[in-house]
Amino acid sequence: MLYNPKWQQPDLVYQGVSRRELTAWLETMPPNEQYEFMFAGICAIARFLESKGASPEDRVVDFGAGLTPDDDSYWLGLRPGDEGYWLLQIVSNRPYTFGAALERARTAASGAEVIQIFE
């Protein structure tokens, strides 16, 4: 079923990424195609922003991420309630396929929270 903005809550935008536009773009992507989450230049967001004509240096969204002090694990700075957390929920959860991201985007747009983060 195609996305209809009238069914959803008001649009959210975080660092140039619109939830409605991202959802509509995800609908055009092959559902079983995998994407990277950890590599900024080829992640789902970078590919979305590239489709909108963004230059390579403008294809990055800051989730406040970094390495732990001992450099053995990765952490994400956004937490529930933070601006942009909705976007993190859509792209950081597994499986890293466009179809799964689309389902998470639809869940987030309905007002429901996507449970897992970065598992």
Would you say residue 60 lies in a domain? yes
Would you say residue 53 lies in a domain? yes
Would you say residue 3 lies in a domain? no
Would you say residue 114 lies in a domain? no
Q: Which domain holds residue 50?
A: 13-109
Residue 94 half-sphere exposure toward CB, CA atoms < 13 A = 3
Query: Mind listing the pLDDT tens digit for each residue in 3-61?
Result: 665 555 678 898 889 999 999 999 999 999 999 887 777 889 989 999 999 887 777 77
Residue 110: predicted pLDDT: 79
List beta partners, residue 36.
43
Residue 73: predicted pLDDT: 53
Structure tokens at 15: 């660092």
Would you say residue 100 lies in a domain? yes
Residue 67: predicted pLDDT: 57
The number of domains in the chain is 1
Tell me how far apart the alpha carbons of residues 38 and 88 are, in angstroms, rounded to a whole number.
12
Tell me how far apart the alpha carbons of residues 6 and 92 are, in angstroms, rounded to a whole number.
26
Q: What kind and span of H or E run contains 13? A: strand 13-14
Q: Phi and psi of 10, rounded to 5°?
A: -55, 150
Query: Mind listing the pLDDT tens digit for each residue in 46-100?
Result: 899 999 998 877 777 776 666 555 555 555 677 778 888 888 889 988 999 999 9
Would you say residue 18 lies in a domain? yes
Would you say residue 6 lies in a domain? no
